[in-house]
Amino acid sequence: MHICSHSNDVRQRVAMWQGEGLSVGLVPTMGYLHRGHASLIEAAARENDRVVVSIFVNPLQFGATEDLASYPRDLSRDTEVCRQGGASLIFNPSPDELYPEGFCSYVNMEGGPSLGLCGASRPGHFRGVCTVVAKLLHLVQPHRAYFGQKDAQQLAVIRRMVLDLNLPTAIVGCPIVREPDGLALSSRNSYLSAEERRAALCIYEGLLAGKSLVEAGEAGTEAVLRAVSTRIEAEPLARIDYLALVDPLDMRPVQTLNEPALCATAVYIGTTRLIDNLLLKS
């Protein structure tokens, strides 16, 4: 496994693989890898001859008051996760490598799945996501790129961008990986105290309350959202940022639950913002 910090090194190595007729998978990450990331790397290794994992804390997708400076980083640990998962190359660029002095070209989605949810509560977030992912897809030119379903809106945005820009990469969504008690794995879980970690279970428990109601025949969105929010808001350390029922493909709000819908939420546990979602179907 190789570790590269310069774009030209990545281009040369990928060109060599492609010249040999090898397929290439890409797993874009912001590092501090956990079992959720490992599942993406392992999926890419099963379906491709070579796997590139990018580790880059992207400053463009953080707002002015968000946690860019404190976002967890541990390259040595990440390297071992990549090695065990079957990665062939780690791309670990500096911000200056991807955004050199004078950088002024951005990829911005002005509608579609970028509206609402994180797009509304984190202005500019998806411009940062689309810009860095477009650059990575251009640099690596993978056959497939892998993203987790936990970031469901991000996955929908990237799929739309790839379609709109006629990019040749297939976007593969992979299931959420959870702790045994249901908490969705996230690098930001490391921010939680022991008390907050216990409190964070209210998120998944709220989603399950909505799921149970739908499976029992409830088709009204208000009743389902009320069941989810009631469980989450019963936890004193929790504060809902958003909670919505949306179409799982285009993220548009749904009015009834006659078709499968994604229940998506962002919740502050103390000062830590966590996202999660669950597909609901009768």
Pairing of strands 261-269, 238-246: antiparallel
- Helix (H) or strand (E) segment spanning residue 276: strand 272-280
In degrees, rounded to 5, the angle at the alpha carbon of residue 181 between the alpha carbons of residues 145 and 178 is: 0
Residue 255: Cβ within 10 Å count: 11
Q: Which of 37, 125, 138, 143 is catalytic?
A: 37
The torsion defined by the Cα of 276, 60, 81 and 279, in degrees rounded to 10, comes to 20
Largest CA distance in the chain: 58
Instruction: Give bridge partners of residue 263 from the DSSP assignment.
Output: 245, 278
User: What are the start-end ranges of the E strands in 81-237?
Assistant: 89-91, 144-148, 170-174
Phi and psi at residue 11, in whole multiples of 5°?
A: -55, -45
* Number of helical H runs and strand E runs in the chain: 10, 9
Residue with token string 């774009």: 7
Report the distance separating Cα 231 and Cα 244, nearest Å.
Answer: 15
Q: How many CB atoms lie within 10 A of CB 185?
A: 17
Name every residue whose Cβ is closer than 8 Å to that of residue 282 and which is 6 or more positions away in sequence.
214, 215, 217, 219, 257, 258
Q: Would residue 34 show up in a list of annotated catalytic residues for this protein?
A: no
Supply the residues annotated as catalytic: 37
